[in-house]
Amino acid sequence: MTEDSKDIIQQELNKAINFLGQNKFSDAESICNAINKEKDNSDAYHILSSIKLYKQEFHESINLVKKSIKINNKNPGYHVTLGCAYSASKDYENSILAFKVAITLNNKVAQVHFYLGESYRKLKNYSEALSSFYKTIELSPDHVGAYMLLGLVYQEKKQFDLSIQSFNKCIEIMPDYAEAHLNIGLCYLLIGDYKNGWREYEWRKKLLDSPGDKLKKEWTGQSLENKSLLILHEGDGNLIHFIRYAKELHKDNCKIILQCSDAAIEFMSKQKWINEVVPENNIPEHDYHVNIGSMMNVLQVDPNKILQEYPYLESEKKEEECIEPDKLNIGVVLETSRESNAHDEESVNSALMQNIFNETHNVISLDEYLTNEKLPKIYNKHFNYTNLSQLSSLISNLDVVVTVDHLVAHLAGALNIKTLLMLPCVPNWRWEITHRHTSPWYKSVTMYRQETPGDWESVTKKVKQQIEEN
Identify the residue with better confidence: 352 or 294.
Answer: 294
Q: Where in the chain is the domain with CATH 3.40.50.2000?
A: 328-468
Identify the residue with better confidence: 342 or 305.
Answer: 305
- The answer on pLDDT for 338 being more than 80 is no
- The answer on pLDDT for 371 being more than 70 is no
The DSSP bridge pattern shows strands 361-365 and 381-382 to be: parallel
pLDDT tens for 425-439 read 899 999 988 777 888
Mean pLDDT of 10-16: 91
pLDDT value of residue 469: 83
pLDDT value of residue 247: 86
Rg (CA), the chain: 26
Task: Name the CATH topology of 3-204.
Answer: 1.25.40
pLDDT tens for 53-63 read 999 999 999 99
Is pTM, for the whole model, over 0.85?
Answer: yes
368 pLDDT tier (thresholds 50, 70, 90): confident
pLDDT tens for 211-248 read 767 898 999 999 999 999 999 999 999 999 999 999 88
pLDDT value of residue 82: 98
Q: Where in the chain is the domain with CATH 1.25.40.10?
A: 3-204
- The answer on pLDDT for 339 being more than 60 is no
Distance CA 456, CA 189 (A): 24
Distance CA 319, CA 103 (A): 63
High-pLDDT (> 70) share of the chain, %: 95
For helices 25-38 and 42-54, angle between their N-to-C axes, nearest 10 degrees: 150
Distance CA 41, CA 44 (A): 5
Residue 404 has φ and ψ, to the nearest 5°, of -105, -10
Identify the residue with better confidence: 346 or 453.
Answer: 453
- The answer on pLDDT for 2 being more than 80 is no
Q: What is the DSSP string of 83-141?
A: HHHHHHTT-HHHHHHHHHHHHHH-TT-HHHHHHHHHHHHHTT-HHHHHHHHHHHHHH-T
pLDDT value of residue 18: 94
Query: In the CATH hierarchy, which top-level class contains the domain 328-468?
Result: alpha beta
pLDDT value of residue 352: 83
Taking a C-beta distance cutoff of 8 angstroms, is the pair 233, 280 a contact? Answer: yes
pLDDT value of residue 337: 61
Identify the residue with better confidence: 216 or 392.
Answer: 392
Residues ≥6 apart with Cβ < 8 Å to 94: 83, 86
Torsion of CA 194, 199, 200, 201, to 10 degrees: 70
pLDDT tens for 270-327 read 999 999 999 998 999 999 999 999 999 999 998 877 656 789 999 988 888 899 999 9
pLDDT value of residue 211: 73
Identify the residue with better confidence: 90 or 336.
Answer: 90
pLDDT tens for 436-456 read 788 889 999 999 999 888 889
- Whole-number Cα distances in Å, 325 to 190, 228, 362, 444: 39, 44, 9, 21
- Whole-number Cα distances in Å, 395 to 125, 137, 280, 325: 39, 50, 25, 14
Q: Does domain 217-299 have CATH number 1.10.1740?
A: no
Among 195-204, 284-293, 337-346, the least confident range:
337-346
460 pLDDT tier (thresholds 50, 70, 90): very high
Give CA angle at 418 (439, 250), nearest 5°.
65
